[in-house]
């Protein structure tokens, strides 16, 4: 297999594979191993759904999420401060306590906090820790935002019903947005 610039200068191939996803790549490699002169044609970056959006990114995010069904519940996702420091990743973080959160006060479940960790330049959410009521449910919003490479600003723009436990994540998000790029 050859680079795009090399391919564009050639006129003939034994096999031309349309689509450089898992299937196309495997087919091209098999043909190449059989001695064929192969070209892959793709309209986007090579890798297809599996590499770029499906299997690997989703599995990586899921593997980095854990929930412990204690009382209060504990839910963690992605990077924590220790990992970010070890990886020399520049980050901003903020947390907000349930004891200052209206719905938690109504429920009498005020132990714990919601904490976010975001890239210091872009605000992309890199991790979260929630300790408190329904933490195992609340973490799923952050899993979804992280899956789409969302930022703390995205989280702030997304409507959150009031009064709900879910809206607690907007408070640390707001605090980080105010410090972004500073």
Ligand X SMILES: Cc1cc2nc3c(=O)[nH]c(=O)nc-3n(C[C@H](O)[C@H](O)[C@H](O)COP(=O)(O)OP(=O)(O)OC[C@H]3O[C@@H](n4cnc5c(N)ncnc54)[C@H](O)[C@@H]3O)c2cc1C
Q: Site for ligand X (CB under 6 A): how many residues?
A: 18
Rank residues 45 and 159 by Cβ distance to ligand X and give the closer one: 45
**60 near ligand X, rule: CB under 6 A:** no
Residues of span 11-40 touching ligand X by CB under 6 A: 18-24
**54 near ligand X, rule: CB under 6 A:** yes
Residue 137 near residue 106 (C-beta atoms within 8 A): no
Q: Taking the complex as a whole, how short is the minimal distance between the CB of residue 57 and ligand X, in angstroms?
A: 8
Phi, psi for residue 132 in degrees, rounded to 5 = 150, -170
**43 near ligand X, rule: CB under 6 A:** yes
Query: Is-catalytic flag, 160?
Result: no
Residue 137 near residue 72 (C-beta atoms within 8 A): no
Residue 48 near residue 22 (C-beta atoms within 8 A): yes
List of E strands, the chain: 15-18, 38-41, 65-68, 73-78, 91-97, 113-119, 125-132
**55 near ligand X, rule: CB under 6 A:** yes
Instruction: Please state, in angstroms and rounded to a whole number, the distance separating the CA atoms of residues 12 and 39.
Output: 9
Report strand pairing: 91-97 vs 73-78: unpaired
Plot region of 149 (φ>0 → left; ψ -120 to 50 → alpha; else → beta): left
Rank residues 21 and 123 by Cβ distance to ligand X and give the closer one: 21
Q: Which residues pair with 119 in a beta bridge?
A: 91
Determine the residue with CB nearest ligand X: 21
The residue annotated as part of the active site, out of 13, 149, 160, 162, is 162
Rank residues 21 and 172 by Cβ distance to ligand X and give the closer one: 21
The structure tokens 């192969």 sit at: 38
**Residue range at the interface with ligand X (CB under 6 A); choices 1-9, 46-54, 88-96, 123-131:** 46-54
Residues of span 89-128 touching ligand X by CB under 6 A: none
Rank residues 20 and 172 by Cβ distance to ligand X and give the closer one: 20
Catalytic residue positions?
A: 162
Residues that bind ligand X (CB under 6 A): 18-24, 41-44, 48-50, 54-55, 58-59
């Amino acid at each position: 297999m050859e680079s795009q610039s090399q391919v564009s200068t050639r006129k003939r191939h034994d096999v031309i594979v349309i689509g450089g996803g898992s299937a196309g790549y495997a087919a091209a490699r098999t043909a190449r191993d059989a001695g064929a002169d192969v070209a892959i044609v793709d309209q986007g970056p090579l890798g297809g759904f599996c590499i770029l959006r499906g299997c690997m990114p989703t599995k990586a995010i899921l593997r980095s999420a854990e929930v412990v069904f204690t009382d209060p519940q504990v839910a963690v996702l992605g990077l924590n401060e220790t990992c970010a420091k070890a990886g020399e990743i520049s980050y901003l973080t903020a947390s907000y306590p349930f004891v200052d959160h209206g719905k938690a006060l109504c429920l009498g479940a005020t132990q714990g906090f919601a904490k976010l960790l975001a890239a210091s330049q872009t605000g992309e959410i890199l991790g979260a820790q929630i300790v408190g009521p329904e933490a195992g449910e609340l973490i799923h919003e952050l899993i979804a935002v992280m899956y789409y490479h969302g930022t703390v600003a995205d989280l702030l723009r997304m409507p959150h019903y009031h009064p709900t436990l879910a809206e607690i994540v907007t408070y640390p998000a707001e605090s980080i947005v105010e410090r972004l790029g500073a």
